[in-house]
Amino acid sequence: MLDYRRVREYAADHPNHGRAGVGNALDLPPSRVRGWLDGGMPDPDGGVAAALVELLAHVLAGGSVTSRTFVPAVTTGRRVGLEAVRDAFERVGVETVVRRADDENRATEVIPTADGSVLGRCPVTTGAPAGEEVDLDGFPAVVWEVPRAVRESFARIYVDHRGTDYAGKRTMAVHEERSADYLRGSRVAGGRDRTIGDRQQPQVTISAAAVRELRAT
């Protein structure tokens, strides 16, 4: 993970350097650097990649990445507590600080204490927007490329941030002011038994069975 961060940071400071230049500067094999420059992640079948995809879920559904500094921030919510957010950062080896914990009028927010701009490029590279007003044309493809267990964890985190309960019902909905392609892709946020709304009601409805399935993961 340390080498990955070094590569992302160096590439950000030297955007014209190719894999050979980055590799030589950091004393790393160009073959390893190439995948990371092209948006790949370290340890594709292991815990680091899973942790990065789960952090992507937090950022995409409950946070943002600043367009100027690339520092990620994630807010807490009714179903997503402070401990869960801090743990998501810690799983990728980043310590955090809490902002606005005592402000009743603004959401509590968690940000990295260091290496924030390097870490923030990870979710951006895998599909999160840089800047709060950026529209996404489609759902991040990386979510479909990870093992099912990681995808289910992503779904649970996403729904915990974005899901809305229906009064008197066991179904839930994820409301998204996004494109139709994004809505189609965001069905992963519930797995199976999800239906998609339209322009007048842009949302993904999650069946009671699917809600139970998510709660069991």
Rounded-to-integer distance, Cα 160 and Cα 94, Å: 22
Answer for the pair 122, 94: CB distance below 8 angstroms, yes or no: no
pTM above threshold 0.85: no
Q: Is residue 137 part of a domain?
A: no
Give ∠ CA 2-6-7 in degrees, rounded to 5.
120
Co-location of 27 and 91 in the same domain: no
Alpha helices in 69-175 (DSSP H): 82-90, 116-125, 142-145, 148-162
Q: What is the pLDDT of residue 188?
A: 59
What domain range is 52 assigned to? 47-125
User: For each successive 10 residues of the chain (217 residues), what is the average pLDDT?
Assistant: 72 82 81 67 64 91 89 92 92 89 87 87 82 67 82 88 81 73 62 44 70 68
Question: Which two structure tokens, joined as six digits, stand for 2?
Answer: 């340390």
Q: Catalogue the E-assigned strands of the chain.
A: 63-65, 72-75, 96-99, 109-112, 163-165, 172-175, 194-196, 203-206
The pLDDT assigned to 42 comes to 58
**pLDDT reported for residue 123:** 84
Same domain, 110 and 176: no
- How many structural domains comprise the chain? 3
